[in-house]
Structure 1
Amino acid sequence: MKPNIYKYSFRHRDNDSVHWSPPLRGTLKINVDAHLSSDGHWSTWLVLRRSDESAVGAATRVHKGVADVVTGEAMVLNDAMDWVEKLGEDKVIFELDSQIVVKAMKEKAKVRRGWGGVIRQCKLFLDDKPQANIVWVPRAANKVAHELAKWAEHEPNRKWLNITPPCIWSLIQKDKSLIASS
């Protein structure tokens, strides 16, 4: 059983508003999302943040030839896990707004669909990183990644480390203001 490194992944500001919340100190949180472009490519966005809400970094990826939304969401999770592993981070919460992918990750059953191979890879990552966890969040709590998955079409296969990319600065500031007002 995975330790509960963060009891609540998102905060309710009021009955109608849900937004991103920071992880506990010493834990990182990576929000991921995928967007199907008009030419059939999946654009993915990853944003990794600290407990003080600052960005550790962000990255974009583009995948070709996959039309299935669940496969796109599974691929962005795999991208995030590869990136976090390269950064040498172990205590990370992966947040995404795909209930199907999160449920498949948490179940013991083998996924027999085309995206099952990607899920198996992701499960191996979590088996090797007992302090990492994956959680589903509503889209409103994953807004930065959701909005910027579209941006990945303009800046494909890029990484920003220890800086906040200009294209996400205003969205991160909005998250901070929502946290401060809750």
Structure 2
Amino acid sequence: MAQWYAVYTRPCWEKKVAESFQKRRMECYLPLNKVLVPSTYSERRKPVYQPLFEACVFVKTTEDKLPLIRSLDGVLSFFYWHGKPATIRDIEIEMIKRFTAEHQSVTLIKSAVSIGEIVRIINVDPEESAPGAWGQKVKLSLPSLGFVLEAEATETIPEPISAEELNLSTTLA
């Protein structure tokens, strides 16, 4: 059965490694962070897309293809957990995709691998909220990777949900 694995790449090779996976028809995911940077020719800020996780690409594959992946140009290793390549749950990949689609200038924070509250991000009508209520931080805990994603909440607020609502048979621990 195919599972998600996190692959360490050479520095600044994330896009090349992702392209290599795509050429081999392997499902991969390179989370990109939209960051607004000042334009050199005007006062406007332009969006730039940078890899969210430095030197990391996610690939969905079977265990028997891991030696092939390790041999690809630009791949250094896998993330390991208890001496084996760490697997990442589908739900965590989906949560990263959704978080990066809804937020920009995401900060990646290294954290201890611990259980956190699972949240659902819901849209809010800004006219219904009090002036100045925005500017709060939205965080997404990724226990299997040991990271927290953090961004400014501008148009959404978190609402707690249970693991049962996600149809998970186990908790994210």
Q: Report the TM-score when normalising by structure 1.
A: 0.30
Q: Which has the higher helix share?
A: 1
Q: Report the TM-score when normalising by structure 2.
A: 0.31
**Which of the pair has the greater relative contact order for Cα pairs under 8 Å at 6+ separation?**
1
Higher Cα Rg, which structure: 2
Q: Which has the higher strand share?
A: 2
